[in-house]
Structure 1
């Protein structure tokens, strides 16, 4: 069987040798970048292809979430982005009452402005940073980017620095990122902004001899530092100086303390016990949902309910990797996604419970319900 990576490397070596010759002939000057996060030159503006992992849950079933289809060209994207930036210049003035809030190892942004005023600016912010949005829902205050590659992770060697983007397609980090943003109204005139990152990693599939015969995309751990980078950039976008934004984000975080545990009653009946009042439990549960395979479709803070969709990898026949299955042209993940309600309720002054209900509002006392609570617990104790 053909060794895919070996063949690819051989092809790249050939191209690079040609590139060296080109450098000698044209005598270009070297250009390097010190930016450690750069998605603008990545595949964010392209439609789905084999180099980009698919979304864990597609939003194609609801067209209101789609802002651009997969056939958008670079010129169309740049043109739309230019118009968007020009139309927003009048609102890019400094914004008072903006701060980073903390709870243990978690950060989020608090702005003394109504969510409807902030939403279009945050949407522009993600587009200006090189992302396409696959979920764009002003009514719920939720947006989500497509998968993109952080090209700043690719080393700037002599050849690449000289020829620049001519050879970009030959380099790949083997990693992709996507970001969710959720706006919460904490009190009248004040908005909490949460940014969460999810990552994918390309890994080899080996045969019996240990040779790499193909690659698959798998999930990789959440990176809080990437979230911090974009929180700081958003603060700059909203009017704070770079130094002020970096100083706020860089302030020490609190200690990490376990505050959630899974409690089982019988075979399948279970709930999550959180050692915190409702406000903190609501916030932590929302972040846990954002960082996992759930898609939050709506929420009702007054009643303590998150309305979510979830795709179980087993329902997709997870034999070649979750990402690969969802990327298939026969992708039926939107049909496999099931709807649930995640309930957060105070059970005391400093305790809350999280339970799961099915689409009909009945307790999900099944193996699936236990699995969902287990996944949430894993995120809550991280």
Structure 2
């Protein structure tokens, strides 16, 4: 029996997937939120004709070719994925798809369900959906004992890590840009005797974001093998640093359109809750809890929960993150304001700017 289980272990190690997530809840229904179609009629999300998207001309490249790089980023196509490309700026990657957010919404919910996650919150107003926490079971060591009795006592095994993901959709003149951001938590020993545990923040993992972006690219392209998608994501080369902190602003070496989208992804990564946004005025209305304070709660369900109703979330301060750029300019400035629109000069405001600066590099 030991011999047989050993053979099974070797086969499992060789063939097992790097991602094997299991959530605790049944996947939600795939209904499109009734207010999603309002995005198209709301001029806050319409892109002015005078701005456009710098890389729009690359979207129609022949299938299976590498597109010409866009300013401050690079677009790469994947064979079989006509109308879908990968772009990258710094360590941020995203998909460019020639479908509307309304068409993509149910496909994204099905993608996360197929990946072992439950979508626990979604907002058509901000164009975001967020998964519940889930564990990557492929990280559990596949030793002989685990292979022999693991299926019977599976709940006894745990990695001590949990992940959740937020997907952001941004409408463009030719379709939609899709961003995936990761948040992580890990269980650590606490106390003088190390006799109890608590959940704490784990650093954002761009590698996990890239893996799920590859899988989503393969799904939307209709290809069974994820390797070409992984190659396309890897081929999107990074560009030099294009953001720097200058006093009470972050200067981004990009025009408004690209800076606006990348600031939205940066807010997701850092752990903000975006309650609303006004693209015409260049304002994100956000709620923020210092992660160091969130750690003290010790409850996984309260960490970085989008639209959370917990007491800690209610106590979170509200801010405005502004993105400003002159018409036709190639430089944008990001600033933090208080909830009433005044310049935020507190230490928290400075910390928010530093976090955004680090993410936008």
TM-score range, shorter chain: 0.7 to 0.9
Cα deviation code 1:102-147 (max 9, x no counterpart): 2233211110011111011101111121111222123432001111
Q: Pairwise mapping of residues 1-382 of structure 1 onto structure 2 (< 5 A)? A: 30=8, 32=12, 33-39=15-21, 42=22, 44-46=23-25, 77=26, 96-187=82-173, 189-207=174-192, 211-241=193-223, 242=225, 243-251=227-235, 253-255=237-239, 257-264=240-247, 270-313=248-291, 320=296, 326=302, 331-346=310-325, 349-381=329-361
Residues 218 and 321 in structure 1, CA contact (< 8 A), matched pair in contact too: no
Deviation (angstroms), 1:167 = 2.2
Bigger Cα displacement from structure 2, 303-312 vs 190-199: 303-312
- Relative to 1, partners in 2 of residues 1:371 and 1:325: Cα closer, same or farther, differing over 3 Å? farther
Residue by residue over 1:204-254, the C-alpha shift from the partner in whole angstroms, topping out at 9 and shown as x without a partner, is 2241xxx42222222222211211111111122223322432221231522
Retained in 1: the 8 A contact 2:185–2:300? no
Over aligned residue pairs, what C-alpha RMSD do you find?
Answer: 3.0
Give the Cα separation in 1 of the matches to 2:242 and 2:220.
33
Name stretches of at least 5 consecutive residues in structure 2 with no aligned partner.
Answer: 32-79, 304-308
Distance 1:371 1:178, change over 3 A: same
Q: Which of the pair is proportionally richer in helix?
A: 1
Residues 296-324 of structure 1 show CA distances to partners (whole Å, capped at 9, x for unaligned) of 223232322212111135766x6x46656
User: Under a length normalisation based on structure 2, what TM-score does the superposition of the two structures give?
Assistant: 0.74
Q: What is the rounded CA distance, in whole Å, between the counterparts of 2:138 and 2:209 in structure 1?
A: 16
Quickly say closer, same or farther: Cα 1:27–1:287, change in 2 above 3 A: closer
Conserved in 1, the CA contact under 8 Å of 2:86 and 2:236? no
Q: 1:131 to 1:156 in 2, by over 3 A?
A: same
* Structure 1 gap ranges (5+): 1-22, 47-76, 85-93, 265-269
- Aligned partner of residue 151 in structure 2, secondary structure: helix
- Bigger CA radius of gyration: 1
Per-residue deviation, 1:181? 0.3
2: distance between equivalents of 1:222 and 1:315?
17
What is the DSSP-based 3-state SS (H/G/I as helix, E as strand, rest coil) of the residue aligned with 2:162? Answer: strand
In 1, Cα distance between the equivalents of 2:125 and 2:238? 33
Matched residue of 2:135: which SS?
coil
Range with greater deviation from structure 2 (189-198 or 96-105): 96-105
